[in-house]
Amino acid sequence: MMIKTLKSSEISIIDENSSYLGVDRKLLMENAGAEVARFIIQNEGDLSSKSVIVFAGPGNNGGDAFVAARHLAPRARKIIVALIGDEDKIKTLEARTNWQIIKNMKISIEFVIIREAKDLQKLSSRLSRSDIIVDGIFGTGIRGDIREPY
């Protein structure tokens, strides 16, 4: 089955049209993150013995990753959410809301804040032992060159 790939500009248009039609951005984020989790569960099966690292940037792609982590947490043996940058730099209300939700969860999620490259090095051994890695760092809003710690 061929999956159509959309350009950033096409995704932005879809997001704007959804908003115009009255679909709340929180709902878009919830659906995106839940679909990531569903895809992982469908393709990986039982996660009870698996370790998952979720990398999240400060934008809406990171918000999608927070939602995915929330859906995966009850099923996985271990979940680590690695936020790139400080939590006060999370850019949108929707992403901040989902960050707060996972921080408030009673299910154990380990949080790692990555401010610079050396912080990422601390995760290297755990990264090599992870069964699943979720990339929620960059989305359609990326502009310019990629800089450290990315």
CATH class as words, domain 46-139: alpha beta
Q: Read off the tokens for 95.
A: 């992403």
Residue ranges of domains in the chain: 46-139
Residue 135 phi, psi dihedral angles, 5° rounding? -100, 105
Residue 52 phi, psi dihedral angles, 5° rounding? -125, 130
Question: How does pLDDT run along the chain (150 residues), one tens digit per residue?
Answer: 677 887 878 888 888 888 889 889 899 999 999 999 999 999 999 999 999 999 999 999 999 999 999 999 999 999 999 999 999 999 999 999 999 999 999 788 999 999 988 888 888 888 889 999 999 998 776 666 666 655
